Amino acid sequence: MPAIPLSLPAAKRDASALMTSTDWIVIAAGAAIIAWVYWYFFVAPRAAVSIPTANSGGIAEIAIIVKGGYDPPQIRVKSGQPVRLTFDRQETSSCSEEIVFPDFGVKKFLPAFEKTTIELTPPRPGKYGFMCGMSMLHGSLIAE
Ligand SMILES: [Cu+2]
């Protein structure tokens, strides 16, 4: 359990003291089970959809077609390695005109019938979702 700074107001100190180390173990175990279930049902079966990455100068280059969705929707990458995603938008539907990577604070306009490049580096292993501006189309970067 992290040390509680003495500068905290008394009320906050009392609230923190209500969490015993047993509580933390129960929370951690629960979170681990939820994470495993999520991985098992949502990530593992779809992993085959992702494409292998081609490297050039240490950057993983990935082309994604934007047309009624993202193809491929799942992209497997290495954490800590820069990734260059090229979105090739092959439609005019306003749904896909904007792409958002909430974890990276990235929001970009994708002009129709043009290629738009976004560079990111997943800082640690995990699943980083991306979506259209209305959150209707979804894809994800899976960093290992
Ligand atoms: Cu949309």
Place of tokens 């175990």: 29
pLDDT tens-place string over residues 35-72: 766 655 555 544 434 554 556 577 899 999 999 999 99
Place 31 in a pLDDT band, splitting at 50, 70 and 90.
confident
Q: The domain 50-143: what is its CATH number? A: 2.60.40.420
Residue with the larger pLDDT of the pair 13 and 49: 13
The DSSP symbol for 80 reads: T
Q: Rounded distance, CA 12 to CA 4, Å?
A: 9
- Provide, rounded to the nearest whole percent, the portion of the chain with pLDDT above 90: 56
Give the 3-state secondary structure of residue 26: helix
Tell me the CA–centroid distance for residue 49 and ligand 1, in Å.
Answer: 22
Tell me the CA–centroid distance for residue 23 and ligand 1, in Å.
Answer: 41
The structural domains of the chain, with segments of one domain joined by +, span 10-45, 50-143
- Provide, rounded to the nearest whole percent, the portion of the chain with pLDDT above 70: 72
Q: Which amino acid is at 114?
A: E
Tell me the CA–centroid distance for residue 59 and ligand 1, in Å.
Answer: 28
Neighbours of ion ligand 1 (CB under 5 A): 95, 132, 134, 136
Give the 3-state secondary structure of residue 76: strand
Tell me the CA–centroid distance for residue 22 and ligand 1, in Å.
Answer: 44
Residue 139 pLDDT > 90, yes or no?
A: yes
Q: What number of other Cβ atoms are within 10 A of residue 4's Cβ? A: 12
